[in-house]
Amino acid sequence: MINTASENPVLRVAPAAPAEAAAYFRASLAFHADVSDVAAVLAAGGDHGFVVVDSRSTESWDQGHVPGAVHLPTALIAEQAEQLLDKSVPVVTYCWGPGCNGATRAALALAELGYHVKEMLGGFEYWVREGFAYETWQGPGRKDADPLTAPVEGECGC
């Protein structure tokens, strides 16, 4: 049985002080949005208060993307952002999924150009895995929610 902090791999490094932890997690929420929150706001319709940007390649965009998203590959942000995006409207970036940092690189490029930006955690992979509708070059699509990523009752309550 592990009974000392030095032997416990979880507590080998002590947790941060509560005030420090609160500041870190508050800052994290300023930089990230999750798939479910983005989907809920988009489903409500009207003025969302933000624009969603897909930073992936054209081939990936054609396979599927968030409805209403703007296609702006990361490599083209410096050249095309000002023609496609309004700096007064916050941007939420996404790429393929958690194993890809394309949305992070896109968010950085946009922030460096003066945009207010968040990254959508989970990317397009989790958009699909959570059962939200998407668009492809062939038309709309939707898959059943993966029970490991989507709550049983449709909302996790967090």
Q: Are 65 and 124 in contact (CB under 8 A)?
A: yes
Q: Which residue matches tokens 């992070």?
A: 104
Spell out the CATH class of 32-141.
Answer: alpha beta
Per-residue pLDDT at 74 exceeds 60: yes
Per-residue pLDDT at 155 exceeds 70: no
Within 13 Å of residue 6, how many CA atoms lie on the same side as its CB? 0
Between the alpha carbon of residue 63 and those of residues 17, 134, 135, the distances in Å are 45, 10, 8
How far is it, in rounded angstroms, from Cα 70 to Cα 84?
8
Per-residue pLDDT at 3 exceeds 80: no
Predicted structure pTM score: 0.88
